[in-house]
Chains A and B, each alone.
Chain A
Amino acid sequence: EAGVAQSPRYKIIEKRQSVAFWCNPISGHATLYWYQQILGQGPKLLIQFQNNGVVDDSQLPKDRFSAERLKGVDSTLKIQPAKLEDSAVYLCASSIRGGPSEKLFFGSGTQLSVL
């Protein structure tokens, strides 16, 4: 079974530039998550989709971050403009239905460095 695919693996940009990350979840998984993991910290949820609708985006900095999940499959996360503090690993995860005790499957992440 194919896992959660993310690209690119690494990205280096200068502050105020824009960047986009792509995620392809496991086939058939209705729920998709984007997490931000800053060095030395645990992952923090940015946004959760159920099919192509947003379930929770309360921790997404909406003035600069946006995300979409067209057709309830792939998802993109965009940052525009980037700040130094956005340097982190961005993790995508998916689960079958998003239930509270369900296992999440994580991708390998995109490591973003903002200079």
Chain B
Amino acid sequence: GNSVTQMEGPVTLSEEAFLTINCTYTATGYPSLFWYVQYPGEGLQLLLKATKADDKGSNKGFEATYRKETTSFHLEKGSVQVSDSAVYFCALISGGGADGLTFGKGTHLIIQP
């Protein structure tokens, strides 16, 4: 079956630090990969996605590259801000999408001024 493994948190960084949140997956076929973010008090929202190998998704300064050879989709940002504090979820969907999204456990990111 499908599964997503992401680094456990909380991850605490200082403002302007470089961020990496690791995500690896197992899936049948060729999944689409996603990062969703949940800001305090808000619902989950899509941050970025990639639908095929070597695609790079990007949004709000965040990037992630679909690496089929390492089955990874690591999230990176060059300079984090306090407003990036949130819980980040790596997720995938495979096949025709009938099984819905499979999520990782989430990584709580805390950015200190």
Taking Cβ atoms with an 8 Å cutoff, the residues of A that contact B are 3-4, 33, 35, 40-45, 48, 55-56, 58, 91, 93, 98-109
Q: 7 tightest A-B contacts by CB?
A: A42-B103, A45-B100, A100-B97, A106-B44, A106-B43, A101-B32, A108-B43
Please classify the interface of chain B as helix (H, G, I), strand (E, B), loop, or mixed, using the class held by over half of its residues: loop
* Contact B98–A91 (Cβ < 8 Å): no
CA gap between A42 and B91 in the complex, in Å: 9
* Contact B101–A91 (Cβ < 8 Å): no
Q: Point out the residues of chain B lying under 8 angstroms from A48, CB to CB.
A: 98, 100
Binds A, one of B13-21, B45-53, B78-86: B45-53
* Contact B49–A101 (Cβ < 8 Å): yes
Chain B: number of interface residues, binned into ranges: 20 to 34
Q: Tell me if B99 counts as interface (CB < 8 A to partner A).
A: yes
Q: Which residue, B32, B43, B104, has most C-beta atoms of chain A within 10 A? A: B43
